[in-house]
Structures are given as C-alpha cells and as structure tokens.
Amino acid sequence: MNFKIAVLAGDGIGPEISKQGVDVMSAVCAKFGHNVSYTEAICGADAIDKVGDPFPEETFQACMDADAVLFSAVGDPKFDNNPTAKVRPEQGLLAMRKKLGLYANIRPVETFDCLVHKSPLKEELVKGADFVCIRELTGGMYFGEKYQDDEKAYDTNYYTRPEIERILKVGFEYAMRRNKHLTVVDKANVLASSRLWRKIAQEMEGSYPEVKTDYMYVDNAAMRMIQDPRFFDVMVTENTFGDILTDEGSCITGSMGLLPSASTGDHTPVFEPIHGSWPQAKGLNIANPLAQILSVAMLFEYFECKAEGALIRKAVAASLDANVRTPEIQVSGGEKYGTKEVGAWIVDYISKS
C-alpha cells in the first residue's frame, strides 16, 4: 500500500513527538512492505510567526493532497497570556477541522494494567476501563456566532439536524463494532440544542435495535466517569461537552501522554495525541511520545491495516512492561528514558518483531 502523509508538527513538544511518530510509521511500513512519503507543513504559533496565519493555504493543500495527516500540537504561552490577540494558534486547529470537514473526533480511553497505579483513581475503579468518546467537532459554541465587548459576551451553541444525525450515526456504528452500548451525553433539561440531540437520537434508536442506548446529562456523565468508568462503552456528545469530558478521561489512564485520537469526516483524516503542546517541556526530551505513536496505530487501523496497528500496540505495551518510560510514568528508581529513547526502543522492537 502507498501512504502519502502530511506531517504537521506544530508547537512546543510537537516537533519532538512528531519525529517519533514518523519513525514508527516508517518502521512499520518497511516491515509490511508499504511505501510511505511525507510532506511537512506549518501550523499553529509556528505558522503565525512565519506567515501570520495558523493554518495557511499551503498547509491546507498539503492536507488535502495527503491520504492522512499526522498532527502533533499547537499552542504557545505568548498567545495564552494575551487576551487581546486577534490571531491564535488554536484557530489553526479549528480551521483545519472545519476546512477538512472533520466532524467526528474519536478518543479511546484504555488503561494499561502496569500503569493503573498512576491514575488518581483507585485501582479497583479504573482497571479494565476501556471506552471510546466520540465528540462532534465542527459545530456548537466553538463555531457559532460570537460577540464580545467590555460589558457582555456570548457564544451561540448552534446545531442542525444533519450535523447531529451524522455524528450519532458514527456513535451507533462504533457501538455495533464494540459491546453494543451507547451513551448519549447532553444537557436536555436546560439547553434547547441538547433537546434536539436527544430527540434525534431517540428517532435513530430504532435503526440500531441491538444497541442498548442510554441518555445522561453531562454533569452526571462527568461524575460517572470518575465513579464507574467501566460503565461506558461508547459515549457520543457535542463539541464543548466532548472537549471537557475527553480531557477528564485522560486522568483514568494516569497520563494524558497515553491517549491518541482520530478526527474523521468529509476529507483527509487527522491523527493526533490529545495532550497539547506543553511548551514548558519544549526541547527537554521528556515528553511522552506514546500518544503520538498510538495515533499512528489508529491511522493504520483506519485504512484496515489491522496487523500493523496491532504491532504498534504490542510494541507500546512491551515498552511499558519493560519500564522504558518517560519521567511522568516511570516507576520509582527506574532507568531514565527521554522522548527520543522511548521512540527508538519502540522502532527497534518493531524492526526485530
């Protein structure tokens, strides 16, 4: 198989973890006889500094010309600490999602037995937790009409039936492939947009009679994720709620550096870690590359290359079992490994398998 990959390293730790993802993809392609080519493109604060646009046209075209995008992170403190900034790195991420029509964000939350002690939750609660959050990505408050002055501000949580139907279809289909349990998360007791979500979901239930569908207010879902994460199989929700809940889900595994994601829709799919740019760690060789590497596994699986994805997952699990870990998840007294060393160990494991 031939792969054309657009590589958007972005800001902060992005370039460091991006390289590990690219190296792992190259190793897997060599192992399985695939051809792969890469096109690097700028985005985020890096692109603002260079061309004044966080998602320039050249980057968009590189994405459209590719089979998939391997994205890392955007964000920089000089923008975070400036509320008057007219252009921000995160606008590039939103623009990419909108222009590529990436309406479905898929975030698996899966624990590793050797790391459950790192979770702030009790082992008996998190061990065996394995669910998927599906977040609508191109609607809601992030894209609705906005206004701000010195006295008032608003963000419009706007959704249409087609937007809701297509993301719910993704949720039902994921549930059919897993354990046939779908939880629709909303705030239908307060928000009109949520009532439309619930109405449409109830209409669609009949098309998926094998799926056990339940409904949960977002505040209850947030609490249930902490109290009983194993309750969930597939969760589907709107953009803002999904952003918050999926980050909350990261604490279940013990590290945000373990969680990959995929964004799919009308055009080129994007595969990325969920953790952000962590600018304080830039250049220190301490960032965990596993979420980026697991995003590569999701990329292969998207293209039905299941053996390739399985080998990456096996290599990641082996690295954890061998205590080849970056500092935030290393065992007490364990050998020190950096971003580069963890990535190199996994590449070597794949090459020798």
| Catalytic center residues | 142, 187, 219, 243, 247
Q: Are 164 and 171 in contact (CB under 8 A)?
A: no
CA atoms within 13 A on the CB side of 343: 24
Closest CA to 261 of 278, 284, 245: 245
Q: What are phi and psi of 40, to 5 degrees?
A: -85, 140
3-state secondary structure the chain: CEEEEEEEEECCCHHHHHHHHHHHHHHHHHHHCCEEEEEECCCHHHHHHHHCCCCCHHHHHHHHHCCEEEEEECCCHHHHCCCCCCCCHHHHHHHHHHHCCCCEEEEEEECCHHHHHHCCCCHHHHCCCEEEEEEECCCHHHCCCEEECCCCEEECCCCCHHHHHHHHHHHHHHHHHCCCEEEEEECCCCCHHHHHHHHHHHHHHHHCCCCEEEEEEHHHHHHHHHHCHHHCCEEEECHHHHHHHHHHHHHHHCCHHHCEEEEECCCCCEEEECCCCCHHHCCCCCCCCHHHHHHHHHHHHHCCCHHHHHHHHHHHHHHHHCCCCCHHHCCCCCCCCCHHHHHHHHHHHHHHC
